[in-house]
Chain A
Amino acid sequence: MNELPIEPRQTPIIGPGYTYASVTDKISSIVLTKKTPKGWLIGFGISFILTMMLLFAVTYLLVKGVGIWGINIPVGWGFAIINFVWWIGIGHAGTLISAILLLLRQEWRTSINRFAEAMTLFAVSCAGLYPLLHLGRPWFAYWLIPYPNTMDMWPQFRSPLVWDVFAVTTYATVSLLFWYVGLIPDLATLRDRSSTRFGRILYGILAMGWRGSAIHWHRYEVAYLLLAGLATPLVVSVHTVVSFDFAISILPGWHTTIFPPYFVAGAIYSGFAMVMVLTIPIRAAYGLQDFITMRHLQNMAKVMLATGLIVAYGYLMEIFMAWYSASSYEQFVVSNRWTGPYRVAYWALILMNVIIPQTLWFRRVRNSVLGLFLVAMSVNIGMWLERFVIVVTSLHRDFLPSSWGMYYPTVWDWATFAGTIGLFLALLFLFIRFLPMISIFEMRTLVPGTEAK
């Protein structure tokens, strides 16, 4: 299929010549094919191996203790928290695309929302591992949950980590529900089209008896809208609460009121970048360019640019406030980031998060699939570096010079990180193979001529 030329308006968000049937066929055939593509097997194989590495790293961690990582005093948080925030941030794009763009009636969300929402779920799963694993005594993690107990103890509710518990579990629950409810009509489609008995039974159970009747559709729309409404504030609240992990503390570099909006913008930024990084190869591999068109990619690029500018504003404000505050501790954080031992990370961050994405202003870059992929990759790495810089540079040199130290991640830090990437990809590969990665029924609404009916 050729890429359509870009026209300012009326750019179609679906390729020409599609009907209900052909849309459904194309998407469901990816799932219902009997022959698993070789590329999928290789991809899943690698992810699975990385997931096994995660299992090994986690087992060793539980046996030996958190000391196998590079954390120390003063840097009590390292890769675990950096990756936690990174993964949660990535998840925000899915919710924004699914929920907020739905409420704003942006039709171009249809071909990417299922995939993005799945990505959110898997990202939140990976993220959710870390608050458990980084505990010194993870077998008591349930003490952070308010449950009536014989000790007569409740969690200490003033702590942002307890707020995290509520925020992340709410986010995971609502995302799961939202995603699942949205899947129901498509699961019914798969049930009806499946050629194997096993497929019919499995999808049949999951479709929960969907018949596609008017009442079903009505209930569906109501439920979906409600869930979208529920999920919308989560886009803002979840990462705000995560940012409180830092903002509530007294550390210079953490203790700043710009963190909530800054983190939320950063989350959307990294989330969209991850969606781009994933959809570009997948659309090429599965030939979905007619559904995930250049317009989709360009829109996502524009959202990235916008949030990237907000993030850049956040960086500028941090620097300005450090100067304006006249606090030597705040000023030192900035100068330490610029010239201290972690300056390479900081300047790489500026390059990858601020400078490279400015190329998105240029139409040539927005039109180039490779260019978009590279910029999105750069943003992903840059956002990871941002969390690294925030966590490590504030901790390693704080108030008393005598307690200054350094943080060096160990092989187990990297193994766990790579393992979660493996878990994420493995889940994604499974998702692509067994569930429709594009929302079939919503794509059908985009077929031209449907409104006429």
Chain B
Amino acid sequence: MSNSTLGSHEPADRLRMEDVRERLANKSGPRFWQSLDELAETPEFMKFLHGEFPDVAAAPSNLDRREFLALVAASLALTGLTACSSTVPEKIVPYVRQPEEAVPGRPLFFASAFSSAGYGAGVLVESHLGRPTKIEGNPEHPASRGSADAFTQASILTLYDPDRSQVITNGGRIATWDAFITSMSTELDGARTRRGEGVRFLTETVTSPTLGDQMRRILAQFPSAKWHRYDPLSRTSGDHAVYHFDKADVIVSLDSDFLLQHPDHLRNARDFTSRRRPATDGGMNRLYVIESTPSITGAMADQRVAARSRDVVQTARQLSVSMGGGSASGPGQDTNQQWLNAVIKDLNAHRGRSVIVPGEYQTQELHAIARDLNMSLGNVGQTVEYTSPVEEDAVDHMQSLAALVDDMRNGRVDMLFVIGGNPVYTAPSDLEFGQSLSRVRLRTHLGLYDDETSELCQWHIPETHFLESWGDIRSFDGTATIQQPLIEPLYGSKSAYEILSAVLGDSTKSPYEIVRDYWQQSNPQGDQFEAWWRKSVHDGVVAESKPRPAAAQSPSRGLPPAAQTEQMPTGLEVVIRPDPCVLDGRFANNAWLQELPKPVTKLTWDNAALISPATAQRLGLATEDVIEIRSEGRSVQAPVWIAPGQANESITLFLGYGRTRAGRIGSNRGYDANRIRTSASPWLLPNVEIRKTGSRYPLASTQHQSSMEDRATVRFATIDQFKENPRFAPEARPEPERSDSLYPEFVSSTDYAWGMAIDLSTCIGCNACTVACQAENNIPVVGKDQVANGRAMHWLRIDRYFHGDIDQPEIFFQPVLCMHCEKAPCEPVCPVGATTHSAEGLNEMTYNRCVGTRYCSNNCPYKVRRFNFLDYAYRDTSPVLSLLRNPNVTVRSRGVMEKCTYCVQRINQARITAKDEDRQIRDGEILTACQATCPADAIVFGNTADPESRVSRLKAESRNYGLLAELNTRPRTTYLAKITNPNPELKQ
């Protein structure tokens, strides 16, 4: 009851609530009643009573004292004056102006872009009441077209990483932005008088137009300052080549993992796999791969050869010679001539519809040869476009870094701003970046983490995550995206824009203003700008933002033949590559990516040195033996992993590990390959020595058996075999006839029968689905020891099988998730009925009923069920991690079984929406997390009761089969057999 009922009249003897409150304040129990008693005597109260409870006041004689006091107390309680309230009243305020589209419980999606080594991939971020919880691809964006890779999916965890740096520090002590500005302004004023002599900026790959513009203005203000670039993942050579694999019939990859380790890999994957289905228009493409390290691109190859890195170059030379041009002399073994002939013949038969793809981390010579070959085959403008670089003011990164180090060492650098990146860790060790850095007087580092670089810098400023700040970025083909934040910066972070704006003299501008001002000024539309801005931000794509392609240059670029520069290396070579999960170490503290099994080796939490079986035998090495690798006076110790498919006499080392200051997750894991790296040849060491140290290092892998053991798990055939016997897949292990069962068939009472089809011809094994599922379903991380003991919690795993000759194996991927069997073996054995079957065909898992006998897991032939052996979900109690969780999915406690639910929360959401709108759920309306993120569109979920749905049509294909269907489980998740397209002339 508010004061308003007491009216606006103010008679002198009106009972004033404030007085009453005062009188009754801090009284409880008998004293309260005593005070109340006293209060009841006052004339003010009697008047109040008359006013509020006329009936009561009129008949006090019927009440005895006790009843009367009770009434008094009750009436006062109704006015909110009980003696028990000791808490400060909290006001729950609903939206004063509720945004039209915000419905509590319904997430909103906002467009932004993820930075993949500096290049943008458009995303849609799911936001629950102002908190981003999940990232999906942006269907409007040409690079991603709705899909997202594992790194993008995992970046949401980086946003909420408790180890992120949270405060600005100066010399290790907490400082403020104002203190930084004050200090910097003074320094920069001094530098300005010297025209910026000694001022250096070091960034990673910058494709942000705004940032590029800011840097150019800085360089205008400080003409003697220099802008260096170093991104460890940047290519050392080559042109900016945008591929169109959907137009290619024949693809030759020369050590290129274009499906994963390429800035444009999402588009590549989508385009490439669009031509992998046997029924595709234009026929299946054919992929030849020659590579040293087994990669997912190599796994997709129709013809694969494992060869040393320098032999790949030799192959390129031979190709070049055969196609008429270039020299073939140079070190390296000759590739099998028959193989080459077949390739050449195929290429010639598909002029203009073929493409040669040089490896990202291969030599300049190889890139030049590839470009020449593409030109001579008429592929340029069809399957590949050479454009001007999308990177702002592109330079050779290694040269830029080396120049900076040289200047630092010689005392020519006075102030250094490291904007993003971690060069102390990622720079090749021969540069001795860290030591040179100590010669710089003033060092500032902007970064997400307090890492190896910030340790050596005075000022460290926490960087905003891409989900926390406005920005802009270009994708590999030049499409620009304006990034919008999903949440206010969690900590006192700043973006690169603000740092550079401060350097330019304006420290008060917000990133929003900075970015908007740039676009307004560079893209003036007058009064249309606001509409244009809103549309661009909403769509996640700035329309018509691709740069023009560069004019085609003449074929010969006059590179000297390689024979001049190299001796004949005969020994083992070492190939260095970014790790498939943590890349160069930037994701070392991301637990999802650390626990993600690497696509081909299935290793987690560590890097290893990959050695081929034959070479391991020759050297007497076994998996987990620790070897020391020595090259040019530098050495590193690494555990061995015997990898079928690895080239002989070639060892692959991976970056990203051996970090000292990555946070709790990433520090002190694995070995640091940078120790042996040189700036002259950062990706290849042609001649190394190996020494067995005699010690062993345990490695945790999620899959121990790589042979299919003749169990027809992945069914595959060449396209000719498939045409001969289209039903080879289901016939390999026939499912029992439905009529054989004594039980009547279950008749569903609903219109929906959910099912899924996974196309093994298109699945590239990139792991995006695994991380998407982990993000969507609050799946915990268990740590290396638990993974080693077979307790990884991924609901969706990608099995990897080797087949055939162990030295040149075929590699197959198969995503395995709960099959939602119609006759599920897990259901009848649960003693408490925690796993049941829904009328729509889902095998349901009821977490709060599970007592944890694990019989269901024992009885599951697919072993897709995961058990919480320990308290995985609640081990890390950092409060910020609770923001990460999807509110629509239960977080499971220990002792409870869990498994894929076909994203039942999404199904239910769709059902509710459809019911609200009084319609059926449309085909394609429900995208499971794995389906939504898959770049290859390999996973299709839908209603099998509807014969027109996409999933029904896929299941009707002749190459559809159920895994272990011969056990009569009747899995609702079925597979489409893998069809390969090998060259009939090559008997492999």
Contact = CB atoms under 8 A, between A and B. Distances in A.
B709 interface: yes
Interface string A354-390: 0000000000000000000000000000000000000
Contact of A251 (B859, B868, B893): B859
A395 B814 CA distance: 22
Nearest to A72: B790
B91 to A, nearest CB: 37
A408 B862 CA distance: 22
B851 A398 contact: no
Contacts of A249: 825, 829, 855, 858-859
Interface in A382-425: 395, 397-406, 408
Contact of A136 (B703, B789, B799, B850): B850
Q: Max chain A CB contacts within 10 Å: which of B703, B801, B863?
A: B863
Given A76-B857, A156-B833, A404-B705, A399 B896 contact: no
A387 to B, nearest CB: 15
A155 B869 contact: no
Given A72-B869, A402-B705, A66 B895 contact: yes
A134 interface: yes
Nearest to A68: B870
Contacts of B800: 402
Contact of B833 (A72, A153, A160): A153
B894 interface: yes
Interface string A121-143: 00000000000001111101101
A406 B704 CA distance: 9
B909 to A, nearest CB: 26
Nearest to B967: A250
Given A71-B869, A137-B850, A249-B825, A400 B799 contact: yes
Contacts of A72: 789-791, 869
A141 B857 CA distance: 18
A398 B862 CA distance: 9
A398 B852 contact: no
A161 B852 CA distance: 12
B790 A400 contact: no
A401 B802 CA distance: 11
A138 B53 CA distance: 58
Interface string A54-74: 000000000011111011111
Given A137-B895, A404-B705, A156 B852 contact: no
Interface string B799-827: 11100000000000010100000000100
B828 A136 contact: no
Q: Max chain B CB contacts within 10 Å: which of A66, A75, A399, A405?
A: A399
Q: Main SS of the interface on chain A?
A: loop
A447 interface: no
B832 A401 contact: no
Nearest to B710: A328
B863 A74 contact: yes
Interface in B821-848: 825, 828-833
A136 B709 contact: no
A250 B824 CA distance: 11
B830 A156 contact: yes
B967 A399 contact: yes
A176 interface: no
B713 interface: yes
Q: Max chain A CB contacts within 10 Å: which of B704, B858, B863?
A: B858
A335 to B, nearest CB: 11
Given A74-B863, A250-B825, A401-B711, A136 B854 contact: yes
A272 interface: no
A67 B788 CA distance: 13
A437 B910 CA distance: 70
A160 B967 contact: no
A280 interface: no
Contacts of A248: 828-829
A300 B871 CA distance: 49
B853 A135 contact: yes
A159 B829 contact: yes
Contacts of A303: none
B867 A399 contact: no
Contacts of A158: 828-829
A162 B834 CA distance: 13
B659 interface: no
Interface residues of B, number: 55
A136 B896 contact: yes
A66 B705 CA distance: 26
Interface string B708-743: 111101000000000000000000000000000000
A140 B851 contact: yes
B628 to A, nearest CB: 30
A402 B703 contact: yes
A400 B967 CA distance: 12
A441 interface: no
A77 interface: yes
Contacts of A350: none
Given A74-B790, A76-B867, A161-B853, A136 B894 contact: yes
Q: Max chain A CB contacts within 10 Å: which of B706, B831, B857?
A: B831
B502 interface: no
Given A74-B790, A135-B852, A251 B858 contact: yes
A403 B833 CA distance: 25
B964 A400 contact: yes
A402 B710 contact: no
A82 B134 CA distance: 43
A259 interface: no
Given A136-B895, A160-B829, A153 B849 contact: yes
Given A66-B852, A250-B825, A332-B709, A73 B895 contact: no
B831 A136 contact: no
Contacts of B906: none
Given A250-B967, A401-B708, A401-B709, A73 B865 contact: yes
A259 to B, nearest CB: 15
A250 B964 CA distance: 12
Interface in A257-279: none
B829 A73 contact: no
A71 B854 contact: yes
Given A74-B863, A249-B858, A399 B711 contact: yes
B829 A398 contact: no
Nearest to B969: A250
A406 B709 CA distance: 17
A354 B329 CA distance: 71
Interface in B777-810: 786, 789-791, 797, 799-801
A432 interface: no
A156 B859 CA distance: 16
Nearest to A407: B790
B858 A77 contact: yes
A155 B831 contact: yes
Contact of A155 (B832, B861, B868, B871): B832
Contacts of B306: none
Contacts of B870: 64-65, 67-68
A79 to B, nearest CB: 14
Nearest to A161: B831
B603 interface: no
B707 interface: yes
A144 interface: yes
B897 interface: yes
A144 B706 CA distance: 39
Given A245-B855, A251-B859, 20 more contacts: A66-B852, A72-B791, A73-B790, A74-B790, A74-B858, A135-B853, A135-B895, A136-B854, A136-B867, A136-B868, A143-B831, A144-B851, A156-B828, A156-B832, A161-B855, A399-B862, A400-B963, A401-B801, A402-B703, A404-B705
Interface of A: 64-68, 70-77, 134-138, 140-141, 143-144, 153-156, 158-162, 165, 245, 248-251, 328, 332, 395, 397-406, 408
Interface of B: 703-711, 713, 786, 789-791, 797, 799-801, 814, 816, 825, 828-833, 849-855, 857-859, 861-863, 865-871, 893-897, 963-964, 967
